[in-house]
Structure formats: structure tokens, C-alpha cells
Structure 1
Amino acid sequence: MAGRITPSEGRYGGRNAAERRAERRERFRTAGLDLFGAGPGYRATRLGDLCKSAGLSTRQFYEEYRTLEDLLADLHLYVNEIAESAVLDVLPQVQELPLAERVTACTRAYLRGAAGDMRHARITYVEIVGVSPRINNQRLQRRAIWIELLNHLADEAVERGEAPPDNYRLASAALIGAINGLMHDWVVGWVAATREEIADELVRIILGRYRPTG
């Protein structure tokens, strides 16, 4: 009978508890993306507004998160994972290309993942800043991962003879800081440019530091 719980399977309406919880979490994420990333912003969003947007109750929210900050933290990691996957997916395809082409492909992939959806970009570069010590620590941890990835690409370029030996860890940290700063200013409208123009500028900055031979 439709809508009846089957105790032996723990199912309701054809879905088990894990599936229903995943659906609820996805609806809260979508509402968070809309309100934090495109609507009034994280600081101006109230729990009731979020639940109304998700079409769920506050009780259901508290089954998934403790606070709106927890949802923001979840969305920040979610967006970072999309951007990271975009870069990791393209890396095997460009391994045999020259350094300049690898950097260009990876930079464009990163921006597609991080800013292909402007809600993602606003959460990552604007809404997440200055929320709390806990969120700031999470943001710094994610920055450290990007610094390690950029440093790995630099070391790889040195091994191939495409870039001179140097301490690129310092350069990687500086580049990630520059990327975050530029992206913040772009998202809030202080920089007038297309995403492609942003990518081109970042490529020039990165290659200028690596000084590829030839």
C-alpha cells in the first residue's frame, strides 16, 4: 500500500531512511545555495526562510544540522570538492602537454568548478569570510590543500626541466592568496571581467612566477 512503512525493510514510499535523509539534505543544500549564494546572503538568512525555501520543517533541519553555520560549512566543502574534482579530472588529459598548456587547462577547470555557478563563487569567496573562528579554520585548511596541489604542479615542472629550481611553496601560497582576493573582488562586482578573462589573467600570473623555459 502506497505510503505505508514496511518494518522489515524500513521503507516509506519506496525509499529507505538513508535515501530520505539524503533527499532532505540535498533540499537544504539547494535552499542554502539559493539564499546564501544568490539571495540575501548567509548573514541575512533566517532559519524559517531557509526551511520555507526547502519545503521542509525546522525539526527536519535539526535532524541534519545544528545551526545555519553548519550548513554554510557543508556548502563550502561541497563547492570546494566540485572545483577540486574539476581540476583532478582534467590533469590526466594534459599530462603530456607543455607547462603553459597544463596551467591554462587546470586554471580554466578550476574556475569552471568554483565559479561556473555564481552561487558557488559567492559562498566560497564572499559569504565564508569572517563568519567565525571555526569557519575561518576550515577555509584555511582548504587553502592549504590548494597550495599543496599548486606546489606539486610546480615541482613537477621543475622535474621536467620546464621551470628553474626554487622554493615554490612560498609562491604557491602567494598565488592562492592572489586568486582568492581577485575572485572576491570579481564576485562582489569590484572587478569587471568575464570568467575567461579572469582565467587568462591568473594564467599570466602563474606562468610569470614559474618562468617556463622556451
Structure 2
Amino acid sequence: MICLRLWREAPTERRLASGLVLLLACLVMVLMTGKSDAENLPPLKIVAFGTSLTARGGWQPGLQTRLSACLQRSVKVESVAKSGETSTWALTQLDRVVAEQPDIILIELYANDATLHRFVSLAQSRRNIADILDQLHQRLPRARIILMAMNPFSGLRGLIRPFVGSYISAHQAEARKRGLEFIDYRPDWERLTPDDLAAAIPDGAHPRPEVASKIIVPQLARHIAGRDCGE
């Protein structure tokens, strides 16, 4: 609007010449303003909330870098996660998640619930995740909540989780009931050859960080920021 007013106020005989100059000046102003606005945005805050698949995952730095490049905005990924813990533990950690005031919360809390020796029944796990989702939505109504199914288990780690698929399905059902998002990385892991999968997850549960980043980051970044961000 400023550029248009200046052009109208210019003498008629000078409008053609001045118009070209003003056009170039206005383009520069628009580009500079857009850049300034992007730079002034607060960091996009993400909390990854989960088990050792998050605590030892190693995919968070890659996600931070990828999203920052895609969004042209600072991105900060924090973790509230602990190896060996269950959704029962997670219920005691909600204050920590809320304190971060995240824009996005990534959740994986089924893996240890599904182990036979921790005695978290399928019904209890489902009640826990429902309570977690309801509390987070109530306390962080603007946050985007994304549940995730991580990598497959094998060997002894798989044997102690004979019904892990049912736990994942229960958590997914609670997410869908609330209109929340769900991402399943298992199909991407299962596209690896048996030898490559065994090398990528040598203990049958915890992927090597560099491989986890290659599997998780593109899909998650694409899901958060759009198709082009995963390329």
C-alpha cells in the first residue's frame, strides 16, 4: 500500500520511471520483511515423551535439524523419557512435559507395558494412555499430540513382548478416539532385509541411532511439516 501511494503521488511524467524503481524497492522490502518475521518467530518446541526408544533413540538431533531447515525456523526437541519405564511412570511425569510448554508432543509408551515381567495389563495400559492423553490435552490445549509405533522387537526382547501388537493397537485406538495423530514406523523397518534389520537393531530392541534417524526422521518430519520436508 505504501508503494502504491508513492507511485500515485509521483508526477505523471515521472510515473513510468519511478514505477520501476518503486517496484524493485518494494520487492526488497517484502523479502526483508518476510525474513525478519521468520527470524523473529519463537522456537518450535517439541517434547519426545517415552521409553528407552526415545531416551536412547538418537533421532532427535536429526529431526531438529531437518525441521529447522524445512520451516526456516528454530526448532528445539527435548526428551522426557526413561529406559525400562511404563505408562504408569509416565503418568507421574506430566508436570515435566507441561513445564516445557511444547507445541508438539511425540509419545511412545507401549513398549515396556507389553513386557511380561512388568505386569501392566493391556486394559491398564489402555487406561493409562487414555488418562495421559486427556490430561495433556486439558493442560496443553493448543499442543499437537502425535502417538508413535516404533521399531519391531526380536530375539529375547521380542519373546518377552508376545502381545506388543495388541498394546500398540490399544494406544492407537485411544488416539483415534480423540482425533489425535498416529505414526507407525514398523513398515519402514520391515522393508530392510533380515540381515540389515539384525545389524540395525543388534540387541533386538534398540536401533543404532544413525539407522533410527534414517528411518524415523524423514517420515516424522514429513508428517509434521509437509511432504517436501521428508525429501
TM normalised by structure 2 equals 0.27
- Higher strand proportion, which one? 2
What is the TM-score normalised by the length of structure 1?
Answer: 0.28
Q: Which has the larger radius of gyration?
A: 2
